[in-house]
Chains A and B, each alone.
Chain A
Amino acid sequence: GDSVTQMEGPVTLSEEAFLTINCTYTATGYPSLFWYVQYPGEGLQLLLKATKADDKGSNKGFEATYRKETTSFHLEKGSVQVSDSAVYFCALKTGANSKLTFGKGITLSVRP
């Protein structure tokens, strides 16, 4: 079945550090890939997405590129801020009516 694997956390960085959060996937078919973010006390929000190979999703300074050859969708940001502290989930979806399958999530803490 479909699955998403995220790197183990938590991750703690200093402000303005470079961020990479790894995500790899296994899917039957041709998935769309997503990053969701959950800020403290809030619901999950879509951060960015990519629907086909080599697409780059971007939002709020975050980027992720759909790499079919490595089945990966790593999240990056060049300079993190304290306000980026949150839980980040990688997810995939295959087919029109299929469910969104999430990874375990990783907690990012950014210190001033």
Chain B
Amino acid sequence: EAGVAQSPRYKIIEKRQSVAFWCNPISGHATLYWYQQILGQGPKLLIQFQNNGVVDDSQLPKDRFSAERLKGVDSTLKIQPAKLEDSAVYLCASSWRAGNSPLHFGNGTRLTVT
């Protein structure tokens, strides 16, 4: 089966600019996750969708980050305006459903904010 697709692979922007990341989950997976992985740290959940509804966005900095999953398939994560501390790898993952279904991760988007 095709894996989780993410784009772009790399992005370099200046602070205060905006950026968007795209994720296409595995076909049929109802649950989609966005994680932020800062260098030297483990991934941290930003937002979890079940179909097109938000299940958990408690760690999403809502003043600058937004995410949507229209039609319960693809998802976009946006940062506006970006700060230096947003430099990280942004990982998208999907699972068949919530619970103990294994997560399948994409290769991530490496964001550098200068």
- Measured CB to CB, the residues of A under 8 A from B are 4, 32, 41-46, 49, 51, 89, 91, 93, 96-97, 99-105
Contact = CB atoms under 8 A, between A and B. Distances in A.
Main secondary structure of the interface of B (DSSP, over half): loop
B91 interface: yes
B41 to A, nearest CB: 6
B43 A102 contact: yes
27 contacts: A41-B107, A43-B4, A43-B91, A43-B106, A43-B107, A43-B108, A44-B91, A44-B103, A49-B102, A89-B43, A91-B42, A93-B100, A96-B99, A97-B48, A97-B56, A97-B98, A97-B99, A99-B33, A99-B45, A99-B56, A100-B33, A100-B103, A101-B45, A103-B42, A104-B41, A105-B41, A105-B42
Interface residues of B, number: 24
B61 interface: no
B42 A104 contact: yes
A43 B55 CA distance: 23
Interface string B84-109: 00000001010000111011011110
B100 A4 contact: no
A103 B106 CA distance: 19
Contacts of A41: 107
